[in-house]
Every structure is written in structure tokens, then in C-alpha cells.
Structure 1
């Protein structure tokens, strides 16, 4: 990142043993004190609206950081408009929760400073610090840790960085002003914002001032009202492109076919509503394929959040299996899975349901996918341990069924869930034929219609009949 941004100097408030490039000037502020009075006047260098304000790096889905240059005209356009609704002004305590790697931190800091608010920095315990402020900018994951009844001091909350789910949108507006903001780093923090009312469709609102929005199909044609397409953003906040990435810029930053300037292809799906607002419909790469079925992870997430007692959800795909993580950790997983089986197609019901105390977050307040993968690995180890501990007491029928299912579906035998049906594990009519054949080789008969029923595997094992394999002469 240092090479890409062509940094000349690094300024740090704490010592470091890192070896910097020889051409880089490293400065350690040994005597820095936030509370110390200024001993000399600060020299401000003039700048133009077209000058570079900052470069922020975003990894996206590839994992390779991409440098996004942002200019002063876009940043000032964002800070100076009042339609973003974040409560600020003299006497207002504005909670700053964002890490330096999240561009929302720049917006909140400048908004507070420009409007003479008191910036309160989160020192670690968000739940406690949030009780002492009137306004804040949070990701939905962070907001989910707060309680409107114990945080009644909050007058205004703006969420961003993740999709706002209905459970939060239906609760918080009854207690304070809640606004939903949307926008990628490539468009200077945010491009859309809306006040949220409980019981209404959750949208990302209309484009903010000096911003344009187009929803286009794969051929860059405007889609009709209500039709889903990719969200493209134009206007003052759009970056000219990634640093030293002409390959990506050719597809992500395009000339506006409907006017002047550049459009950024967000990779997000949305549709126009009749009131002029945009309904966010997930990422284009959130559509996954599991065993041949196309699945929108957002639909599975919404169905899970609608279940009683479920407060937070994340859905991932591991080894061609749909895995759901949900909080709190005392959820009755069997009841939830049974409810999902009656509400969703069989291929959209998670094969595994991991109950956790809370959904992990990164330092920027977003979903921590790496931590979830670790949780699932631990969950699998627990399944294996239970499987080994109970092998002696398991029936021969179950052992044969477990082995056959794992072979047909390409699963670890220990992760075959006896409480789910074959279909819920990811099976279909073709693999049911294969399962019947595999069982026959193990001297058991199980007819295909029975396999395709929504019967838990441990019950299905009890219906299996022994048979003799006919060996050809």
C-alpha cells in the first residue's frame, strides 16, 4: 500500500520496529500529547478543490488492496450538506466509533469539527460509551449491540457500511431519529441517505446533493421502475479510479453514457421504487450456487431474522454447504430449522446452524468472515468428537446411511447432520438415486421416494431394510 500510494513520510505516535523503505521518511512523535496547548501557530498550506484529500485502501472480494484517491471537492460536498441528518452542532456529543481503515471515520471527524460538536471517541466499551452521547454513526452490526431502552439518550443514529436489517429498522425509529446511509469508498463515503420509519420498506433513499444514480442492466441500459439492476454512481464524490489499476478501472469506472463525468459500477443490486428511493438488494457476488441451485444469501438471512428469538445472522458457504450463524447462543436450532423448512425451498435451508453469542465484527464494525470460518471449524470438531463418542451405540443402519450420504454429497461423515433431511443437507433427485445405489452396495434397501421426504436422517435410518447384494455370476 505504501508503494502504491507513493508515500514520502510516515508519522506515528508510537514507536515501531518495522523496517521501512530507505526512501521513506519515518517520524515518531515522542512528545505528542493530545491535551498539550499549542506552543506555536499552525501553518496551514492552501489547497484547491481539485487537490487530493486522502487515499483509502479497500480490499473488496479479491483480497488485494486497491488504493482509492479522494479529492477535496467531493469531501467538502459531503460534509457541507445537511440532508445526511447526523445530529451535530455546538453542545452535541458525537460518538466516533470508526477505525482508520474505514472511510466513515473521516466523515464523522470532519462533520463534528466543522459543526463545532464535541467528538467522543470509543475507547473500547461501545455499550457504555454510547450512553453518554446524543449522536453517532454506526454499522448495523455495531448498532445491534445497543438497546434503545438503555440508550435513551441517543437522539440521532446514522447507519452505514452494511445493509440495515428489518429488525433494527422496526425498533429504533420509535426511540430516536434513525437514518440509513449507503455508499462505497469509491464515492467518498456515501451517496444515498434516508430517514427510516418503522414498519416501512427499508431503502437506501435518494442520491444526496451533487450525486447521481443510475440502475443499469448488463448492457448499460436503464432498467424500468421496480426492475433489479446494478447501481452506478456519478457526481462530485466519485473517485477518478484506483491507483495503478488500469485493468480494474476499465470496468469499474466508466464514462457516463447519459451525461458528463464518470460513473462507478458498485457491484451492488438495487431497484427504483415509485417514491424515487432505491431499494438495496444485495451484492452481485452475494448470489451463490450450491449444488447447482442459485441462492441469494440475503433472502436466507431475512428468513432467519424473521424467526422468534433470532437477533443477528450471518450466512456463509463452506464446502458447497450453506451454513448459518445466529445469535444468541441459546437459540433452539431445531425449531428454527423446522420453521425454515416450511418457508423456504429445500435448497435454501442451511445444512448447518451454528448458534453463537454474537456475530463477530472487524475493527471497522463489519462482518468478520475469518472469525466465522474459525467458528465453523470448531463446530465441525465438536461434531466429530460427538460422532466418535457415540459410534459404539449407533445402529448399523445409521452408520451405513451416514457413510453413504457423506460419499454422495462429498461431505465429511462427521458433519452429516442426523436432524436434517437428505434434501436439507443439499441432496436432490439425482443424488437420491445415487444414495439408494450406495446403500444397496452396503446391503440396505431404501427407496427413492422415502429419501426425498423431509424426514430427518436418523428417522430415515430406522426405515431401512437389510437386503442381499446380488453378485453377477
Structure 2
């Protein structure tokens, strides 16, 4: 029986005092149906004797099942069933269950007299396709069609305060859940309840609040119980009954497909709790009304706590101290592989000691910030460890960032020494640049230093992330947080010296912290992936197979490309653990992976994390079941971490309700470097005794088992191919151009839902002449490539909301990407290339045009038209599928103008 079929029926349970004469009852039914049913004489009264020995609970359950049994499609519009006790006593009470289509009214002084619902009030509710979704309901789609109910436990003055109070309570609870109408919480309870008294009238049926919760108010009659829908046509229906003695009772009817029973029970309890407070304190402002009782708040907070995996002393260590333990235990084991370089733990330890000694020879004091601007190679890992051994904190910088950003990072961190290759970092008189080799040479001449006591609270590193002010901000992370991360995951992930990891990510991306120290502090072998191999999925797949890598860390965008390569590859992988991080995971992309790899042999783990909470916060093992459910789970907190979800006022939200994810525990960073105001705003003391917590700005909800659903961002921050980007930083950079008077930035996609086509679109208003190419050049001078807008569209004025903010929904479609100035001669485009004259050029231009969603000419630059690393991989894969010569990602990066690339392919073919 379909849910819509059940939703088109209602039922009435009537207590029939004995003795009950079935023949007389049948006549009353037929008389009551006269003029309403087309054939009232054909109405049948079904009789059933209840099982002998059934207790009261069993009888109630049988009556309830009968009341929930819908009518057959195409059958009579009314069914009557008389349930009688098994003892055969003719004077015993019986129960009559009437089930009718909703166009027939049931109830009244004589329930056997039928009537049509007035004014269409009994018409069926929306079909399944029109049902609103309850984001906070956490329902089970596989249970769609099953109905449940839970009492709303009203008490005290709320029982006699009237149904307007109930409407007001539901509205306030939904507002706190982030659904329905927003509520001005400076108003008093009396004002708010009075508003709802005016909005509802006696006997009114409010079919739907904006959240998909309905409220139905009816007058009750002793001995009768009305079920308004056998399956709620809305996700939830709060059915209130006014009794003759002036009291009110209420029941929440819900569908299991929409509402988890636990969530439904708590929602009903919240409505009751709020109603009691509104009735008790009519003059109190709404912001003093609590959604949760103290006991429930404590329960929800405990749900988000995972106790530490080991004793406190396990995390009261420094990273270099923990590494020294491993080096003593496994001196001859290979710690690092980078190209032709292979270092044992003893050799890596010795080189890092020389680096530390070199820093001491330069009078770099413990606690100093040391800049590191190196390619991914063996020297990078040696240097990072050496900086820690010197008692300093490393400040990693990505060499792909523009010089202005690198200079800002060095100056803001107060680094007096930067370890970099010659000529890499434009220096200043205040900063000394030294190469890794020179630093070790200086250290080799230094006498051994006395052992330094470990200080777990000292900074280990400072990683700069995108900032809304237009400048990146440095996150200061102490040693103890890294030690806690390794301790929290070691046992669950079975991390041992038999594992082989890759260092795939930039050292300026906090995923690298996990890759380097997760491997080296558990005795594994770290394979350093060079820049170009990381950008060519075929080369990378070959490396994974050749090095027999067992632990792989990837952003979902990068892994999606690897999945495609793996599908065609002949080589076998030895992966046993893949960890996703850096951006949300769409589990549907894993279908081809699971088709080739058993989830029991290779574990896939989706982890949510933030730089400010030390890389990872949660872990959820992804299985084929998750793919079918298309869920957004990221799992419970790691051991030693805590999770809670709070509203904009910092109040703890219940299970299911979405709000800001707040993270506490072992991973919380120290501060933002040199930004005490921002630190005080985001790193706050938990008023509920949880210590310091970080307000993440991410949106999520807790599930009944304590796991977290990640639902995106609350602010203007976005994730593009794993990079955390504050759109306001890009906006402020554009505003710094002298001709720009206004700017807005938004995240767009050439293909909706395809992360490879994600792009930043910018809109500007100008005071004078300036073309988009000039504005993009200005942005490239200050922003890393992944933050440079793909399009810049000039507007006469930015559309604004009534609150004076940019109305992003009203922004027009972006203009075409800026193009380089064409060379002399007519350009060749994808649509105009003559395939007879130059079929190769036409074929490649067509491929580029399809990938970039633009009409490409031979003069166009792939990256100026919005190309990125993922689209590079996609184009090269499609070229091979069409039989074109194999070229590498490096080839496309170095020949990024279409004409040059066509000639490269032509030469490769010949």
C-alpha cells in the first residue's frame, strides 16, 4: 500500500459501552451513511474477537494496527470493524474502528453519522513528489510509508493555555532548528503567543508550516480518538485535541522516512518544554527560553565527546621527541624515499640534527618562526624535522604562490631565516635566506647541543590559510596537537612500520602535516611525490604500484581522477587505507572504485577537519551502503576531540538540527598569529565546561549515534579542489585596484555538481577604464593561482538586497574569461577549424572547448580560460581515448597556449 494511499484516509476509534448489539450497530451505520455513500445498504460491519488472554497493551496494539490499516484503492470509502473481547461476555465493552476516505468526516456526538468535510478541509494532501524534505529529520528513506507517533508531553499551565500557545511553541522550536520563519527573540513570550492567537482561529487546520510540519487542532469527544491521517502526507503532523474540560493534549504523527524516531521524540519534547516556559513566564524575552532541558543538553554534549585513546602522557610530547623514539627503535628501516634518495631513520635523524645545529649557528633562538620554501623532496622533510629539533616552528610556503604573498607570509610570521633554494624567495635585508645544504654544512661544524627538554605546548608549525580581510592568517599549532592526532588514529587505522605513505600535498596545505608525521611517527616509509608526478594521474598510479603504497591521502577531487586511471590501468595497487580530506566527499563518485576493490580489503575513510583543529576532527568508514544512501556523514569525533553543533548565539542545538560545528579537545590550535581579536572571536571558552572550543564556520548536524553530518559553510568560505578559500579575500584584492569601486565574488561551476569545473567568478564596478585582463594580472600578483578568478564581469552597479548586501542570486551570468591578446592573423576556433585542412587542430580545439565550456581559438591560453589541474587530467585522458599521442601534464603546463600545444602533439605524432 502506497504512502499516498494511506495519507488519503483517516480513522476514528470509538469505545462502545456494553452490551453491544452488532445488528443494531450495523443499522446505525447504514442510517448514518444514507445520503453520503452511494450504496449505504451495502455497508458491512466486520467483527473480530480478540485473542484470549491478551493483556491491555496487546489489545491497544491490535486496535492501533486496525486504525492504521488504509482502505484498498478502488474499494468502498468506509470500513467498520468491531473488536470484541475473547471472554464472550455480552455486557463487555467493545471497540469500533472506522476508517474512511478523507472526504468523509468522522466524529461528533454520534460518530456513526457521516458528513462531507466542510470547505475542502478533508481533501488529500500533496503527493509524495511534493513533500517537503526535513533536513533535520534524519529519516530512513527505506522506511518510507511507515508511520509513527509520539505524545507531546505538555504539563503545568501549558495544558490549559490554549492551542495558540502550541502554535507559538512549534514556530519557535522550528526557528531554533533553523527551519520555518525567523523569530525576533527580543520580543516577549506574551507578544509572540498573542501573534499566533491572531493567526489561528478555533477549528483551524494549518496544513503546513514552512518546514513541512503541519498543525491540526480538533475538538475532542470523550471515548473517541481520531487519527487525521493514516500516514502523514507531510513529514510531520502535530495533532492537538481540545478537551471539554478546557485542557489540550497533542500527538506528533510522523513518517519514519522523514523523521528518525529519536528525533521525533525530542522534537515533541522540545515543543512541550518551550510551551511550559512560554506559559510560565509570559513577560520573559524569547531569547531566555531554552530549547533543551539541562539534562538533554548534557546528553547531547556527551554524544560529541570521544575519550582519548591513550593516557595523557602519550600526547604530552613533541613531534621531534616522538620521532627520536622511532629512530632509536628502527634506525636501519627506510624512513624516506624521494626519487633516487633513500634515507633510513638514522640518516634522516642525523641530517635533521645538522639542520638544527645550522639554525643555532645562525643564532635562531628556540621559539622562533623559520620559513621553509622548498619543493617536495627529501630536503623538505629533513628541514621541517630540523626546525623542530632546534625548538623552532616551521612556516611552510608554497612556491606556486606569487612573490607578494610569500613576502607577506615571511613578514607576518616574523621569520628572520627562510630555508629555500637559491633565488626562490625574493629577499629583503631583514630576512636571511639559506639553502638546506648550506644550513647542514653550518651545522656540521657545530658541537653537539645538550638535550633540550620537551615542551609539548610550544608551536610546531604555522600554516597560513585564506583570510576574509584580504590577507592570509597564520594558524599556530602546538606539538601536543600533532602528538594527539597520531595517538588518536594509530590503533583504529592500524598504523605500523609496515606501511608505506605518500607525501602528495604541498607543505603549505595542512594535509601534509598528517602525511609526514602520521607516517614517520608510526615507523612507516614516506614516499615523496614530486610536483609533476602529483599532477599526472598515470604517473602517480604507476608510483603507487611500484612503491607498494598502503596508505594514501587524497582530496575527493584528486581521487576522482585516480579512480578513472585505475579503471584502465593494468598495474595492481596495494592500498589498504585511503583517507579523504580537504573538501566534502560525494560518495557517488566511488561506485567504479568499489566495483574493482573490496571495501574489506581497502578501507576508505572520510574525515572532516580544519587547520585550526589540527588537520582531522572526525572519521567515517565509507562502504557501498553509504553510496546507496548518498549520505554526508563524516563520523564521530576522533579520540580526544569533541564536537557540538550550536546556533548563532552559541546555544547547543539538539540532534538533527543544523548549526555551526564547534570543535574542542586535543586538536584545538593555540591562536591566529598576531591577531588577538580574531583569536578571541573564533577560539572561545565553552560556557558548558568543555574548555576552549573553535567556532569552525562550518555547518553540520549531529546524529543520534554522535556522528556528524557536514553540510557546507555558513559564511563566504568555499572549498575548491581541496583549497580553503575566503571569497572576501579575493574581493578585497580586487578592491585594492585603484579603478575598482565595488566587487563581489561567487563560486560557480561550468557543469553543476562537477568539482573539476569549479571556478571563482568575480563582478566589479569601475570608476575608470580598466579591462578584465588588467584586473586579473593585478589579482595574480597577490593571490595563488587557485584563488584567481576565472571570470571578471563588469557591471554598472552590484545588485543589493534590502539589507544592503550583495544579492548574489541576482548577479547575471558571468562574462567570458579574459583572453590573451591575439597574434597577427585570423585565429582558428573550435567551430571554424577546417578538418580537411587541419583535422588535428580541429580535434584538439574541440576537446579544449568542451572541457573549458568556451569557444577556444589557437591563441587562447588553457589556464586563462579557467583551466585547472583536474581539467588538464581530463583533457589528456580524452585525448588518449581518441587515439591521440600520449603527452604529460608537464607538457600541457609548459605549452598552455592552444597553438603551441597543437604543434607539440603534431610533433609527438610524427
Q: Please, what TM-score do these two structures have when normalized by structure 1?
A: 0.60
Alpha carbons of structure 1 residues 136 and 41: separation in structure 2 relative to 1, 3 Å: farther
User: Is 367-376 or 44-53 further displaced after alignment?
Assistant: 367-376
Structure 2: 5+ residue runs without aligned partners?
Answer: 1-408, 719-745, 765-783, 794-813, 821-826, 833-853, 856-910
Q: CA deviation at 1:11?
A: 2.2
Q: CA deviation at 1:271?
A: 0.7
- The structure 2 residue matched to 1:146, chosen from 558, 562, 567, is 562
Residue 606 of structure 2 corresponds to 180
Residue 131 of structure 1 corresponds to 545
Q: Secondary structure of the equivalent of 2:696?
A: strand
- The structure 2 residue matched to 1:164, chosen from 573, 577, 585, is 585
Q: CA deviation at 1:258?
A: 1.3
Q: Secondary structure of the equivalent of 1:274?
A: coil
Cα distance between partner residues in 1 of 2:458 and 2:659: 34
- The structure 2 residue matched to 1:208, chosen from 610, 631, 638, is 638
- The structure 2 residue matched to 1:189, chosen from 601, 605, 615, is 615
Cα distance between partner residues in 1 of 2:757 and 2:709: 20
2:490 is aligned with 1:69:
no
Cα distance between partner residues in 1 of 2:544 and 2:791: 30
2:459 is aligned with 1:52:
yes
**What is the CA deviation profile of residues 259-299 of structure 1, one whole-angstrom value per residue up to 9, with x for unaligned ones?**
142111111000112222111000112599xxxxxxx979x
Structure 1: 5+ residue runs without aligned partners?
Answer: 289-295, 321-365, 391-413, 416-473
Q: Please, what TM-score do these two structures have when normalized by structure 2?
A: 0.33
Q: CA deviation at 1:218?
A: 0.8
Aligned 1:408-447 pairs, distance under 5 A: none
- The structure 2 residue matched to 1:102, chosen from 500, 506, 509, is 509
2:788 is aligned with 1:370:
yes
Q: CA deviation at 1:213?
A: 1.0
CA contact (8 A) 1:171 1:198 kept: no
CA contact (8 A) 2:550 2:576 kept: yes
Structure richer in helix, relative to its length: 2
Cα distance between partner residues in 1 of 2:559 and 2:758: 15
- The structure 1 residue matched to 2:679, chosen from 249, 261, 282, is 249
Q: Secondary structure of the equivalent of 1:204?
A: strand
**What is the CA deviation profile of residues 29-69 of structure 1, one whole-angstrom value per residue up to 9, with x for unaligned ones?**
34689xxx999978763321111211111114444111111
Q: Secondary structure of the equivalent of 1:233?
A: strand
Residue 314 of structure 1 corresponds to 758
Q: CA deviation at 1:125?
A: 2.0
Q: Secondary structure of the equivalent of 1:120?
A: strand
CA contact (8 A) 2:577 2:603 kept: yes
Aligned 1:232-243 pairs, distance under 5 A: 232-243=662-673
- The structure 2 residue matched to 1:226, chosen from 653, 656, 659, is 656
2:396 is aligned with 1:2:
no
Alpha carbons of structure 1 residues 369 and 52: separation in structure 2 relative to 1, 3 Å: closer
Alpha carbons of structure 1 residues 225 and 315: separation in structure 2 relative to 1, 3 Å: farther
Residue 274 of structure 1 corresponds to 704
- The structure 2 residue matched to 1:11, chosen from 395, 407, 419, is 419
Alpha carbons of structure 1 residues 185 and 256: separation in structure 2 relative to 1, 3 Å: same
CA contact (8 A) 1:96 1:120 kept: yes
CA contact (8 A) 1:68 1:185 kept: yes
Alpha carbons of structure 1 residues 84 and 318: separation in structure 2 relative to 1, 3 Å: farther
User: Is 247-256 or 58-67 further displaced after alignment?
Assistant: 58-67
**What is the CA deviation profile of residues 318-347 of structure 1, one whole-angstrom value per residue up to 9, with x for unaligned ones?**
549xxxxxxxxxxxxxxxxxxxxxxxxxxx
Alpha carbons of structure 1 residues 253 and 64: separation in structure 2 relative to 1, 3 Å: same
Q: Secondary structure of the equivalent of 1:250?
A: helix
Cα distance between partner residues in 2 of 1:57 and 1:311: 24
Residue 78 of structure 1 corresponds to 485
Cα distance between partner residues in 1 of 2:562 and 2:465: 27
Residue 199 of structure 1 corresponds to 625
Alpha carbons of structure 1 residues 270 and 76: separation in structure 2 relative to 1, 3 Å: same
CA contact (8 A) 1:57 1:66 kept: yes
CA contact (8 A) 1:86 1:137 kept: no
Cα distance between partner residues in 2 of 1:166 and 1:204: 11
Q: Secondary structure of the equivalent of 1:221?
A: coil
CA contact (8 A) 1:159 1:180 kept: yes
Alpha carbons of structure 1 residues 31 and 318: separation in structure 2 relative to 1, 3 Å: closer
Q: CA deviation at 1:28?
A: 2.5
Q: Secondary structure of the equivalent of 1:125?
A: helix
**What is the CA deviation profile of residues 127-186 of structure 1, one whole-angstrom value per residue up to 9, with x for unaligned ones?**
222333222111111111102443643221101011111223444455421101111111
- The structure 2 residue matched to 1:27, chosen from 434, 440, 447, is 434
